[in-house]
Structure 1
Amino acid sequence: MVTVVPLRRRQWMLGATCAALATPWPLRLLANGAATAWLEGGRATPLAREAVALLNAAADDGLDPRDYDAEALARAVAAADTAPLPTAAAARLDGALTAAMQQFLHDLAHGRIDPRRIHQRYRVAARSDFDAATALQTALARGRLADAVRAAQPPLPLYGQLRAALAVYRALGTPAAWAQPLPPLPVPRGSRAGKLEPGQPWSGLPLLVQRLQVLGDLAADVPVPPRYEGAVVDAVRAFQQRHGLAVDGVVGRATVAALDVTPAARARQIELTMERLRWTPLMQAPRMIVVNVPEFELRAYEVVDGRIHVREQMRVIVGRALDTRTPLFDETMRFIEFAPYWNIPPSIARNETVPRLRRDPGYWQREGFEFVAPDGRVDTVLTADKLDAVLAGRLRIRQRPGERNALGDIKFVFPNNDNIFLHHTPGVALFERERRDFSHGCIRVEKPVELARFVMAGMPGWDEARIREAMAGGTSTTVRLAAPVPVLIAYGTVLVKNGRVHFYDDLYGHDARLDAALRGRASPAHERGSPFP
């Protein structure tokens, strides 16, 4: 007997017979005595019919049934229902069904793309607890293939919510409301940009009302008003809130751009988010911090009995989309620095700080800068020669603790190759913006005291009063966390909150990159070649 090898991507067990499969599968016998999992006497079993139904429904999970040769397998199983298949044909069908189901389960659990291809640097192997071959064996032994599918799906409430949302947006398709673009917005006197404000008439109101009704932000029985007012304004505010826009009821360029995205395009956005969830390690530890970059939000949560309980949530500021993007990775927070120094990165010193100091030497004293030599010696006197030494790498510049310090009064350290960390900031007004990509790559947090309380929970003596005292003390102090906390920098452009689907802009283009990678990859079914006409 041949030993079966667990399926790996693009390795299909073509032509395999169930004689190659390990027990305890419910084996049948072909006419020549060979064992098969899916046929009996050359005819398809109920399990074979269930398998092709599951493969054809792979799109419900954002997957592509063509990757599993679903239509050809369905035709072959239907043929086996009509008349017994010859031994060789039955063996081919049996092996192909097994390979397709294993590939489907593997893709459902682990995803179809290696995240490192699109620049995610997650260290944790996704779903290391799930093996497609073993799950299929167990399901066949019990006669319940759907059990294997449920076990393969990411064990996250958000995944199930997105799956339901995908069905809704797929059902919408691309309705007539998107067959033509919204007409130009009114241009207020003295303004160059068009915008629609409450109380104004607009020729696009019928189309606006229709789109809001299709998307569920406006009740279907609301008539088109003569002016932009009432329930339609409220519906626009609801739409803006679900799309990461300023919730002001004013229809401007950003709101129109979001309204122009068709339900079919939103369905694809949901599919891409489901793919990311398959390899984003969201539940790797009992306590975690997750920053969702496109949403500009941080959540600190605990996992209790397999359920996520959010303990703290706050706004964040992330790296600029244009040139200083925050990388996606996971690391472990091990330290907190109270009243930290800011060691200015060489690139910032070279491109920003040194040129500013040459133009405005008073900036040195105002900001509390100092030079630091390789041996640790500190020099607070500014000279042109020392600035040259900074550019040559012989000195570096750092900012002393204080109210103007760029890191604020606290820094959360999770050592990583990119030197990314969480910190507070004196520029708190930026947290009020809807779009918050203003940093050089590090992540500024809105509520540093609350975050410190979360990560220092259980550390004797570190209550809120002491945390605030250490932040305001003016003396740089590093504290090692008693229990390190994993930090995940994630990227999800679709979430479900309070039963409503929220969409966010593809800030860094990662969705577009994932979409291109999925479309450009060779289909496993195409690579192996279908054994059926």
Structure 2
Amino acid sequence: MALALTLGLGFMASAQANAADTPSPWFEAGRPSPLARQALDLLAAAPSHGLSPSDYATETLRQRLGLATDDATRQRLGQDLTQALTQYLRDLRQGRVDPRQLGYRFEPPAHASFDPAALLAQGLATGRLADLPRQAAPALPQYAELRQAMQGLQALAGHPAWAQPLAPLPRPKPKRPGKLEPGQAWDGLPRLGERLRLLGDLPPNAALPASYTGPWVDAVKGFQVRHGLTADGVIGQGTLAALEVTPEARAQQVALNLERLRWTPLTQAPRMVVINIPEFTLRAYEVQGERIAVRHTMRVIVGKALDTRTPVFDEWMRFIEFSPYWNIPPSIARAETVPRLRRDPGYLARENMEFVHGSGATSTEVTPQVLADVLAGRARIRQRPGPKNALGEIKFTFPNSEHIYLHHTPSVGLFERTQRDFSHGCVRVQDPVALALFVLQDMPQWTEARVREAMAAGQLQTVKLATPVPVLIAYGTALVKQGQLHFYPDIYGHDRALAQAMAQTRALPLKATP
């Protein structure tokens, strides 16, 4: 027992001595090394990536650096500094929040080849720690563009142009909401002009008339386009609210989207289809190394913000259904279709619907028994292919537990709306022919003429894709397009949820204390 204790104590003393003898990159001759200063400057610059220096105990480490006067204190400080930098690099690559914590149903990109400790060791060996964040952050052009835009907004923090709210808008009638239309005078024009110039919507040397006309209206239309608003040049309550958002708040919104880019799987296959919910936009693109080549961009309609939100997830598209049936989801049948049929049995025939029984047999007679069977799950209602079919003439299938798919719609006028959350959760696409040709491009027998013919045939035809294509339903409220920063309304409240989750992530738990 005594011998074992003596040997154990001897081993511990030897290990401590070896650790103490190991040269520390953070100290030279008992004083902080240039690398230690670089490290703290790197952590202090975390806001340039939308992260917080406090999450890495930056100021605490800086204070301790001046107090490290003995070997033991320097050793503990070196361990903590290494830990802080390693965590910072890890956060830059994979984010601080697990998207599954927010209910997102996709796996973050694999990071098996990324070793933050090895990357830090490489930076220490070369003496260039400043290069490490660029190597750790996502190698996406959108990330770099958003980051640059965010820094421009951060530079406007506290600008006096936002110190006071804009003047009240003219009221057409006493009890009506105020709005400013072209040709009107308004006391808020000088402050409006200052903001629009700072944000880049109004040229710095533009000659401005005394009333709200010409360049004023053009600048506001540009602002509206960049903020997902109807670009009519009228300053109503929605446009006024967007104009009042401070640069600090917009910078934080961009920071949330930088976090999303760290864990959104945008380059998992050579071809992808991505739907951005707040933007109401679908992009079909090819991944060419680190470059994304967009082949098609089209408008989409997504789930209603109030009660039938489209979920965020990814899955592989495997089938296309031409002239599809619409199998009415049980929730819609219970809440909408069955009550309608009780009031109006003729609705079934007018909408080209039928009942499908458990045996597979179909019927079109509306009876209390068949309605009871639908409610009990013993039968279902489907809409036959045709001009009234809610899915239009084509359905893009990627099997998933949420029963979400892409499809066309006979209600094409809805694509002209600015905010397009009208569906029960599935995604309606504006240009189904272009999307079909994109996902069928390695099946050359499917020409445009054949696709259109199958869509118009009125008879179900299911085609299995030779190469499945991943579909990602994503959520981004800030995006750089053609060099301009765009914002979109947080229609589902995901920005608020992410901001709360990031605020709740624990700051770096230092293993050692001064």
> Quick check: 2:79–2:512 contact (8 Å CA) kept in 1?
no
Give the match's secondary structure for 1:36: coil
> Quick check: 1:331–1:414 contact (8 Å CA) kept in 2?
yes
Give the 5 Å matches for 1:69-84.
69-77=57-65
> Quick check: 1:331–1:415 contact (8 Å CA) kept in 2?
yes
**Structure 1: gaps of 5 or more residues:** 1-18, 21-28
Asked whether 1:143 is paired with 2:131, we answer no
Q: For residue 156 of structure 2, what is the aligned residue in structure 1?
A: 172
2: CA distance, partners of 1:89 / 1:506: 48
Give the match's secondary structure for 2:202: coil
Q: For residue 63 of structure 1, what is the aligned residue in structure 2?
A: 51
Alignment-mate amino acid for residue 24 of structure 2: T
Q: For residue 462 of structure 1, what is the aligned residue in structure 2?
A: 446
Q: For residue 361 of structure 1, what is the aligned residue in structure 2?
A: 345
- By how many angstroms is 1:181 displaced? 2.2
Give the 5 Å matches for 1:473-492.
473-492=457-476
> Quick check: 1:372–1:396 contact (8 Å CA) kept in 2?
yes
- By how many angstroms is 1:73 displaced? 2.2
Q: Provide Cα deviations, 1:412-448, integer angstroms capped at 9, x if missing partner.
A: 0011000000000000000000000000000000000
Q: For residue 159 of structure 1, what is the aligned residue in structure 2?
A: 143
Q: For residue 11 of structure 2, what is the aligned residue in structure 1?
A: none
> Quick check: 2:408–2:430 contact (8 Å CA) kept in 1?
yes
Q: For residue 7 of structure 1, what is the aligned residue in structure 2?
A: none
2: CA distance, partners of 1:226 / 1:334: 59
1: CA distance, partners of 2:123 / 2:368: 73
> Quick check: 1:289–1:488 contact (8 Å CA) kept in 2?
yes
- By how many angstroms is 1:190 displaced? 9.9
Give the 5 Å matches for 1:31-70.
33-70=21-58
Q: Provide Cα deviations, 1:211-270, integer angstroms capped at 9, x if missing partner.
A: 212212112344653211111111000100100111111111111111111111001001
- By how many angstroms is 1:520 displaced? 2.3
> Quick check: 1:69–1:530 contact (8 Å CA) kept in 2?
no
Q: For residue 294 of structure 1, what is the aligned residue in structure 2?
A: 278
- By how many angstroms is 1:529 displaced? 7.0
Identity %: 58
Q: For residue 396 of structure 2, what is the aligned residue in structure 1?
A: 412
- By how many angstroms is 1:37 displaced? 3.1
Give the 5 Å matches for 1:114-133.
114-133=98-117
Give the match's secondary structure for 1:266: helix
2: CA distance, partners of 1:76 / 1:189: 64
2: CA distance, partners of 1:55 / 1:119: 30
Asked whether 1:442 is paired with 2:426, we answer yes
Of residues 149-158 and 376-385 in structure 1, the stretch that sits farther from structure 2 once superposed is 376-385
Asked whether 1:338 is paired with 2:322, we answer yes
Q: For residue 263 of structure 2, what is the aligned residue in structure 1?
A: 279
Instruction: Choose from 333, 336, 340 the match for 1:352.
Output: 336
- By how many angstroms is 1:192 displaced? 2.8
Q: For residue 3 of structure 2, what is the aligned residue in structure 1?
A: none
Instruction: Choose from 372, 380, 405 the match for 1:388.
Output: 372
- By how many angstroms is 1:191 displaced? 8.5
1: CA distance, partners of 2:92 / 2:404: 32
Alignment-mate amino acid for residue 30 of structure 2: G
Alignment-mate amino acid for residue 211 of structure 2: R
Asked whether 1:249 is paired with 2:220, we answer no
Give the match's secondary structure for 1:332: strand
> Quick check: 1:126–1:278 contact (8 Å CA) kept in 2?
no
Alignment-mate amino acid for residue 122 of structure 2: T
Of residues 40-49 and 290-299 in structure 1, the stretch that sits farther from structure 2 once superposed is 40-49
1: CA distance, partners of 2:358 / 2:131: 61
Instruction: Choose from 367, 373, 376 the match for 2:360.
Output: 376
- By how many angstroms is 1:36 displaced? 2.1
Give the match's secondary structure for 2:81: helix
- By how many angstroms is 1:359 displaced? 1.9
Alignment-mate amino acid for residue 345 of structure 1: P
> Quick check: 2:301–2:421 contact (8 Å CA) kept in 1?
yes
Alignment-mate amino acid for residue 416 of structure 2: E
Aligned length: 499
- By how many angstroms is 1:356 displaced? 1.4
Give the match's secondary structure for 1:312: strand
Q: For residue 312 of structure 1, what is the aligned residue in structure 2?
A: 296
> Quick check: 1:126–1:279 contact (8 Å CA) kept in 2?
no
- By how many angstroms is 1:405 displaced? 0.3
Give the match's secondary structure for 1:166: helix
2: CA distance, partners of 1:354 / 1:431: 28
> Quick check: 1:205–1:224 contact (8 Å CA) kept in 2?
no
2: CA distance, partners of 1:334 / 1:519: 39
* TM-score, length basis structure 1: 0.90
> Quick check: 1:357–1:363 contact (8 Å CA) kept in 2?
yes
> Quick check: 2:80–2:510 contact (8 Å CA) kept in 1?
no
Q: For residue 203 of structure 1, what is the aligned residue in structure 2?
A: 187
Alignment-mate amino acid for residue 75 of structure 1: Q
Asked whether 1:103 is paired with 2:91, we answer no
2: CA distance, partners of 1:222 / 1:125: 46
2: CA distance, partners of 1:401 / 1:264: 51
- By how many angstroms is 1:105 displaced? 0.4
- By how many angstroms is 1:48 displaced? 1.8
1: CA distance, partners of 2:110 / 2:256: 16
> Quick check: 2:95–2:262 contact (8 Å CA) kept in 1?
yes
Asked whether 1:531 is paired with 2:513, we answer yes
Alignment-mate amino acid for residue 331 of structure 2: S
Q: For residue 16 of structure 1, what is the aligned residue in structure 2?
A: none
> Quick check: 2:99–2:108 contact (8 Å CA) kept in 1?
no
1: CA distance, partners of 2:511 / 2:126: 31
- By how many angstroms is 1:175 displaced? 2.1
Alignment-mate amino acid for residue 47 of structure 1: L
* Aligned-residue RMSD, C-alpha: 1.9
2: CA distance, partners of 1:323 / 1:231: 41
Q: For residue 386 of structure 2, what is the aligned residue in structure 1?
A: 402
2: CA distance, partners of 1:298 / 1:271: 23
Give the match's secondary structure for 1:35: coil
> Quick check: 2:229–2:239 contact (8 Å CA) kept in 1?
yes
Of residues 261-270 and 376-385 in structure 1, the stretch that sits farther from structure 2 once superposed is 376-385
- By how many angstroms is 1:78 displaced? 5.0
Asked whether 1:520 is paired with 2:508, we answer no
2: CA distance, partners of 1:302 / 1:121: 23
Instruction: Choose from 238, 263, 271 the match for 2:222.
Output: 238
Give the match's secondary structure for 2:455: helix
**Structure 2: gaps of 5 or more residues:** 1-14
Q: For residue 75 of structure 2, what is the aligned residue in structure 1?
A: 91
* TM-score, length basis structure 2: 0.93
Alignment-mate amino acid for residue 528 of structure 1: L
- By how many angstroms is 1:44 displaced? 2.4
2: CA distance, partners of 1:345 / 1:60: 46
2: CA distance, partners of 1:530 / 1:288: 46
- By how many angstroms is 1:311 displaced? 0.6
